Amino acid sequence: MAAMMQSAMPTSEPGYSFSQAPQSVAGGPRQHGFYPYTDNGGTTLGITGSDFAVLAGDTRSTSGYNINSRYAPKLFKIGGTGSANEGARIVLSVVGFAADGNALKERLDTVVKMYKFQHNKEMSVHACAQRLSHILYNKRFFPYYVHAILGGLDENGVGALYSYDPVGSYERETCRSAGAASSLITPFLDNQVNLKNQYDPTSGSGLEKVTKAPQPLSRQTVEELVTDSFTSAAERQIEVGDGLQMFIITKDGIEEKYMELKKD
């Protein structure tokens, strides 16, 4: 009421109606008590090779300092048949707000299953990747609060990895880490996968130094990099730990590996 009285005060300038409507509620500002997001911690990681892709994630779920569960997978098979998604060739990993992650997984899974029904063929990772981007962007103004990584094999059988921001911006990469310990793992990956700051020892010094060119890694090497990344992350990040789940996608299907991590 006071706001209205004020705005009706005579001034030398002509008033305009657009500036008269009170901007806030009469009873002062009201706080929104409900925040629809939370962070469930954890970290994910994906690395590709010439004929495989590896996706990995820890299995801890957290709320603040609490551990909700020691086994809450962040890796999901997409497509395939039945509730166990047998025969799937695509893997989605999501880290961030777990409820959004689950909803996103179910949307994408349904899309891929309907695609197979309607076209009588499996969806390619390339197509699935673009569809995922659209799903995320469609919720641009109330986003799925997750960092997604999608993995599979492309049309040539080469390992494919796509990483996303929460609103659908995406890019194909050879390696990516997301989540609570991504800031710990990324520099390690830069150095070990992309050979950043590594120089040919036979080259000269100073400006003569020649950087090493990254080469496709063997599956063995990649699996070791993944386990090292997670055991180290579990040492330094309280939201990472309990278990490490790894999906290795090859032309023969998806192989699952599980190992224990620190539980403290």
Minimum CB distance to another protein smaller for 171 or for 256: 256
Minimum CB distance to another protein smaller for 46 or for 168: 168
CB of 45 to another protein, least distance (A): 21
Residues in binding contact with another protein, number by CB under 8 A? 45
141 touching another protein, by CB under 8 A = no
DSSP class of 168: S
With contact defined as beta carbons under 8 Å apart, do 74 and 93 qualify? Answer: yes
With contact defined as beta carbons under 8 Å apart, do 159 and 153 qualify? Answer: yes
Minimum CB distance to another protein smaller for 76 or for 97: 97
| CA distances, 86 to each of 62, 123, 149, 170, 214 (Å) | 29, 15, 20, 27, 34
Strand partners, 14: none
Report 31-60 residues binding another protein (CB under 8 A): 31-34, 36-38, 40
Of residues 223, 234, 230, 238, the one with CA closest to residue 65? 238
Minimum CB distance to another protein smaller for 34 or for 206: 34
43 phi and psi angles, rounded to 5 deg: -140, 150
| CA distances, 84 to each of 2, 76, 88 (Å) | 62, 10, 9
CB of 238 to another protein, least distance (A): 16
Question: Which amino acid is it at 245?
Answer: Q
DSSP class of 220: H
119 touching another protein, by CB under 8 A = no
Question: Which amino acid is it at 254?
Answer: I
187-226 mask for another protein (x: CB under 8 A)? ----------------------------------------
CB of 232 to another protein, least distance (A): 24
Q: Provide the binding-site residues for another protein, judged by CB under 8 A.
A: 3-4, 7-8, 14-18, 20-22, 25-26, 30-34, 36-38, 40, 61, 63, 66, 68-72, 81-83, 97-99, 102-103, 106, 110, 113-114, 117, 142
